[in-house]
A and B are shown apart, each in its own frame.
Chain A
Amino acid sequence: MNTSVNNKPRLVLIGNGMAGVRTLEELLKVAPDKYHITVFGAEPYGNYNRILLSPVLSSEKTLDEIMLNDEQWYVDNGIRLFKGKKVIRVDRKGRRVIAEDGTEAGYDRLILATGSDPFVIPVPGHELDGVVTFRDIHDVNAMLEASRSRKHAVVIGGGLLGLEAANGLLAQGMEVTVVHLMDCLMERQLDGAAAALLQQSLAQKGLRFLMAHQTEAILGEDRVRAVRFKDGTEIDADLVVMAVGIRPNAALAREMGLYCERGVLVNDTLQTYDPSIYAVGECVQHRGQTYGLVAPLWEQAKVCANHLAEYGIARYEGSLTSTKLKVTGIDLFSAGDFTGDESCDELVFKDAARGVYKKLVLKDGRIRGAVLYGDTLDGPWYFQLMRDGTPVDDMRQGLLFGQAHVGDSGHGSEAARVASLPDSAEICGCNGVCKGTILQAIGEKKLFTLEDVRAHTKASASCGSCTGLVESLLATAVGGDYSQAPAKKPLCGCTEHSHDEVREAITAMGLKTIPAAMQALEWKNPDGCHVCRPALNFYLLCAWPGEYVDDGRSRFINERVHANIQKDGTYSVVPRIWGGVTTPAELRAIAEVAEKFAVPTVKITGGQRIDLLGVKKEDLPAMWGDLNRAGFVSGHAYGKSLRTVKTCVGSEWCRFGTQDSTAMGIRLEQMSWGSWTPHKFKMAVSGCPRNCAEATIKDFGVVAVDSGWELHVGGNGGVKLRGTDFLCKVETPEEVEEYCGAYMQLYREEARYLERTAPWIERVGLSHVKQRIVDDAEGRRALHARFLASQQEAQVDPWAERAQGKEAHEFIPIQPVALREVHS
């Protein structure tokens, strides 16, 4: 057996569960033909979603609905499946796997995914008929069977698993008593206040509780009859469910002589002490941690597959986990350290009448843990902030009210209770996707991640404002913790590296072209894709101003032809009107151009400019030539760049004006026009605190006061309304320019491509921006100088160049040389 099959090395997976099969799926994605694969599974089924056993128990789902890979999947992928065959021995020297019935398979690489075993308290009577655990389909069937003829169920264990089992049995019509050793339910996930609310709701549903009770014995002759506690009391029981916990199943690994502690020890590449043997999932102990949730196992599967495919670039560095209770009608979310110590701060919100409780534990200005009860919509957001270590001091005031407390556009206040919405409710306002459609796709197409849902339904794929809603739908549909994006998000499918890593490498390794960056960072596709190429182009442009040659082929069409593509393939043209101040002569010139080129629509934009819509591409250079002659340059209404500086009339005309806001706006626009930024960048200058230019919803807003200028940053009036944060107050227009230039440069150098200033500031924290722009005067001047230096190259009017013939091929269709007839 020591030969490969069809020249392919042999890969054997022991354990046909979620972690192991997921590893195979990840492997097949990146290296479909690399191995001849064999799977041994002890259970007589295909791979099913173990997380969803609770809904099966409560009859909310059927077994078919929770199957992940049916037998056809193994056939389709050329995988040999030995189901119902328990592996009892592995001969590491001979590289053979031997099952109980004598079935053997040789391997070159082996994956152990033996999962975990339920922990059974060894009290007298624990082996009686009618005592079950809650771990697999067999257990669920036993419980369903018992519920049909028996009445009294006792669930030992008031943790996640126990409560889900109790809820399921209650739904089957049994009288259920939950026995818990501690005086608080789910003490590993909840604090006292949340646990009390939970117990109250569950009691209302009909569950009974015996808190602080220690089981002494299970009584009965052949079959269980009662449970006795340490205090001597007894209760009747026809069915006892042991749900006190799980422990890694490392028995086989131990037998094989692999080093084990609580679980099989693995390194960051998921290899055990025998490098040809990998291990993933609940049987694993990594950096001292064992995991019983799905998200970590998903991450492990990805890393393990990457190494099996011999890419060798991924590392598993451990996971932070969050939990969600899968009991209908109860919303509960918990993550991290929710108790804290003296050095931690607690933020608590409690509205007992609405049944809402939220607690955040903060340490050093970052979220350490969260407990949410009743309203868990913001769970994923808090978890993300926690995983990213985002500084939250600056948003502390509104933190407990959630991400959307200032209001997202596209879906009204209904957002808060996605679970209770009807199937017809529109979730994604951009693409018109309803809740029912999303749930159906998740179920039928076996979607697990936000990206999957976006690809298949288009929900949350446009503006992204409904992402939180889609994530919570996903969480309800497929179980607690699927929806979490990995801690490190790759820039796109072409690479394993994140935005930040790519940026760092560009400067650290001196990468100066897109091909050089792709090669050095081991891009999977030689040309990249429409996501990474524009990002790389911007990063290189920002890192090497004056040196990097802009790659037009890596720019989105609008930036390549310097106009905005419209739905019918025509373009819109927006000439720059400095500070929104124009003249009759300019307006006449625009009018003439509009008539000459038969522009169908002329519109005033939100940024105080004039938009000429419906222009044919071939007409663009000639039109720009005419506009240039009238003194106009490109308005960059199409770019990830400075858009407009909106102004009010200020002290020149307004009876309330305190400063000349129009002149200030024009100065800022002349300094910053033409600059490329990670995303679009909008400014406004208002002449007094009445703020008619709406400066406090701009990326950079200036509000004049009698004694000078207030500077505001990080506002957004679009998808997600966000008022600016106050940065500081300065006295002179020169200072306004310096702070503005420095701020724009900091944004250019630090934000990820396609990240607006609002999410950027929320990610890095206002304090950081203040420190760099306000406190560090020398740093500010250096940033401003770098900004001005990059502007030297940037302030060349792209319209003038193209009007004079640059890139003519972009604008002129090919004229066929001659029509030739051919007869074949």
Chain B
Amino acid sequence: MSWVEVGLLEDIPRLGSRVVRLADGDVAVFRTRDDQVFALRDACPHKGGPLSQGIVHGHRVTCPLHNWVIELETGEATGPDTGCTGRYAVRVEAGRVWLCLDARRAEARTVAQDVRVVSA
């Protein structure tokens, strides 16, 4: 399981996001008003719109292309739209944001607590 440090929490604007470029596609890292951080594949399940460019509200983001509203915690489109985008485990430690590179659907937090971080 690979974790990368993607920078400081304060690099991500509140109610905003940043993009992390990976070899197999972009990941959108969101920061909500309550300073929680979420990461999703940067592609809307509808037409692949870049979710990182959307308006963040609550724990949701609205896709900039056709206004689908996606749940940040699950990657699921909110009803009546259906679809799901991949999500990534993410955590914040001492103001630094870590991203788990294996896209998953399992509960992020429990996994994150079990892992030990080792410098490469």
Binding site for B on A (CB under 8 A): 445, 455-456, 525-530, 533-534, 553-554, 556-558, 561, 565, 567, 569, 809, 813-824
Contacts and interface: CB of A to CB of B under 8 A. Distances in A.
B16 interface: yes
A527 B18 contact: no
A818 B57 contact: no
Given A818-B5, A820-B2, A569 B49 contact: yes
Of A526, A527, A567, A816, which is in contact with the most chain B CB atoms at under 10 Å from its CB?
A816
A813 B18 contact: yes
Contacts of A818: 4-5, 119-120
Given A565-B53, A822-B117, 17 more contacts: A455-B79, A530-B57, A530-B69, A554-B55, A567-B47, A569-B49, A809-B12, A814-B18, A816-B6, A817-B5, A818-B119, A819-B4, A820-B2, A820-B3, A820-B118, A822-B115, A823-B1
Contacts of A554: 55
A530 B67 contact: yes
Contact of A527 (B1, B6, B7, B33): B33
6 contacts: A553-B15, A553-B55, A561-B53, A814-B18, A821-B118, A824-B1
Contacts of A533: 55, 57
Nearest to B61: A530
Nearest to B20: A814
Contacts of B56: 527, 553
A565 B3 contact: no
A602 B119 CA distance: 48
B73 interface: no
Contacts of B85: none
B107 interface: no
A814 B11 contact: yes
B64 A822 contact: no
Nearest to B47: A567
B20 A813 contact: yes
Q: Which 9 pairs across A and B sit closest by C-beta, in order of nearness?
A: A530-B62, A527-B57, A557-B53, A530-B55, A816-B4, A817-B5, A813-B19, A569-B50, A557-B64
A824 B115 contact: yes
Given A527-B33, A567-B47, A816 B53 contact: no
Contacts of B67: 530
Contacts of A456: 80
Contact of B11 (A525, A809, A819): A809
A568 to B, nearest CB: 8
A23 B120 CA distance: 61
Contact of B14 (A553, A569, A817, A819): A553
Nearest to A553: B15
B29 interface: yes
B72 to A, nearest CB: 12
B116 interface: yes
For B12, B53, B56, B58, the residue with the greatest tally of chain A CB atoms inside 10 Å of its CB is B53
B120 A813 contact: no
Nearest to A528: B57
A529 B62 contact: yes
A340 to B, nearest CB: 44
Interface residues of B, number: 48
Interface in B1-35: 1-7, 11-16, 18-21, 26, 29, 32-33
B114 interface: yes
B65 interface: yes
Contacts of A527: 15, 32-33, 56-58
B54 interface: yes
B55 A813 contact: no
A526 B33 contact: yes
Nearest to A817: B5
Contacts of B26: 813
Contact of A556 (B1, B15, B64): B64
B55 to A, nearest CB: 4
B73 to A, nearest CB: 15
Interface in B63-118: 64-65, 67, 69, 79-80, 99, 111, 114-118
Contacts of A824: 1, 111, 114-116
A569 B47 CA distance: 11
A565 B58 contact: no
A445 B79 CA distance: 12
Contacts of B111: 824
B104 to A, nearest CB: 13
Contacts of A528: 57
Contacts of B13: 553, 809
Nearest to B64: A557
Contacts of B80: 445, 455-456
A818 B101 CA distance: 12
Nearest to B19: A813
Contacts of A819: 2, 4, 120
Nearest to B98: A820
Contacts of A809: 11-13, 18
A556 B61 CA distance: 12
A525 B59 CA distance: 11
B15 to A, nearest CB: 4
B2 A817 contact: no
B55 A817 contact: no
A554 B21 CA distance: 25
Contacts of A814: 6-7, 11, 18-20, 29
A623 to B, nearest CB: 18
B63 to A, nearest CB: 9
Nearest to B60: A529
B38 to A, nearest CB: 14
A503 B47 CA distance: 35
A662 B109 CA distance: 63
B1 to A, nearest CB: 5
A462 B9 CA distance: 36
B16 A567 contact: no
A445 B82 CA distance: 15
B47 to A, nearest CB: 7
A816 B5 contact: yes
Nearest to A455: B80
B5 to A, nearest CB: 4
A567 B57 contact: no
A525 B7 CA distance: 30
A553 B32 CA distance: 11
A421 B117 CA distance: 65
Contacts of B4: 816-820
Contacts of A526: 33, 58
Contacts of B69: 529-530
